[in-house]
Amino acid sequence: MERKIRPTHAETAGTDKRIRNRQILCSAVFFTVLAGYALTFLIPKFYGMTDAYVGVFVFCMFSILLFTSAGFVTRVKNLEKDAILLIVLLLLTGVNILIVSSGKGAFFVLADFLLAFYLSDKLPISKTQVKWYSGAYFVLLFVWLLFVYPKMFAEYGFYGYNTNTAATFTIYTLLLAFLFVQSHMKRFAAAGFFAVLLIVKGVQLALYHRARGAFVMLLAFLLFYYILPRRWWLKKTVFRVIYVLATLGSLLFVALYTVAGTLGVNFRLPFFYKELFSGREEIWMEFFRLFLKKPLTGIGTNVQITSFFEFNVHNAMYNILVVYGIVVFILTLCLLYMRLEKMREKALSDETAFCALSILIAVFFESFFDVDLLWVDYALNLLFLLLVVNHEQDQISGQ
């Protein structure tokens, strides 16, 4: 029999040191980007001054992790499939954007999204880091709700941000803060009270802002985390159906909604005081006509549309297809499916990972109505959720 050689104490200590160095770097990047995220929404003037550069900033921060902690160069030399796929996607995205003379910021929107998914299983953070990171979101939510929010929204008609944006930021941050509460459920009975309080407050604010997308995000989270039996929806076949619905199903939703909008039937939604068909069907139809002219390269973002006052596709998956073209869209789905396949097993064996996956799927479904899954201001949120799903479920030595 071949004799197994155990690593020496020095080798083990060296490995632990490298892991800690990676975790320290990851934490430095996280809190740097989180500072920008907090300032963006707490101080409207900061958002106005930095909005044009946030995609580049996030790309630089994620690239630091890519070339250091994720060992990207070595992975490329080893011809790892996902590393090669990432390179092809970034190159093809850049080429398409140049061909259609798109705004250059469009490159960083998709690049940040792709980097988040690529890095998700390359930076395994510890349970301690999960608590620190989610705790930071909890503090941010506390400051937002108790000090900043009352000033910005003292009256519904006067506010610092678009009410949909404010509601989405609130619910998204609330769900990330919920991870902090969830991670303390077993040790502190009071955590259950805070969990109920967060959910009730989230429902109240989503309805107050009449924000359908934010409300869908919260309801989808409750459905996947509390209502649907997890052993059922995390079965391999069912889970595949769910993530196909969350991606390709998003395009089907666009098609059905647009067709239904042409039938002339409409009604006011209860609680939201909005029409079911309030203009998105016209936006989506116009983008479809533009896409048919450039299906391979996409249309880019340097396009003036007549159905809305700004360039906003209002659907994340449709945005990838229309802006970047069908080839980039298909390859992006390949990268997403490679990652989502692995997340199921993680969620089955760890409660915190399951909670993070439930939030992630909820954001996918919320993005049937908007582009928040892609929005660079939320790129850190996406990376954080992905890292929590893949976090180290056993502590490394010394923690």
Summarize pLDDT for 317-345 with one digit per residue, the tens.
999 999 999 999 999 999 999 999 999 99
Per-residue confidence (pLDDT) for residue 160, from 0 to 100: 56
CA distance 178 to 94: 37
Number of helices (H) and strands (E), helices first, in the chain? 18, 0
Express each pLDDT in 77-116 by its tens digit: 999 999 999 999 999 999 999 999 999 999 999 999 999 9
Residue 56 has pLDDT above 90, yes or no: yes
* Residue 354 CB neighbours (<10 A): 21
- Provide, rounded to the nearest whole percent, the portion of the chain with pLDDT above 70: 90
Task: Return the ∠ at Cα 331 (arms to 61 and 348), rounded to 5°.
Answer: 75
pLDDT of the residue at 65: 96
Axis crossing angle, helix 105-119 with helix 316-324, rounded to the nearest 10:
120
Eight-state DSSP code of residue 158: B
Give the pLDDT mean for 189-200: 89
Judged by average pLDDT, the poorest of 36-40, 259-263, 303-307 is 259-263
For residue 10, what pLDDT is reported? 46
Question: Per the confidence metrics, is the pTM higher than 0.85?
Answer: yes
What are the tens digits of pLDDT across the range 248-278? 999 999 999 999 888 877 656 655 557 767 7
Quick one: pLDDT at residue 395? 47
- Average pLDDT (365-384) is 96
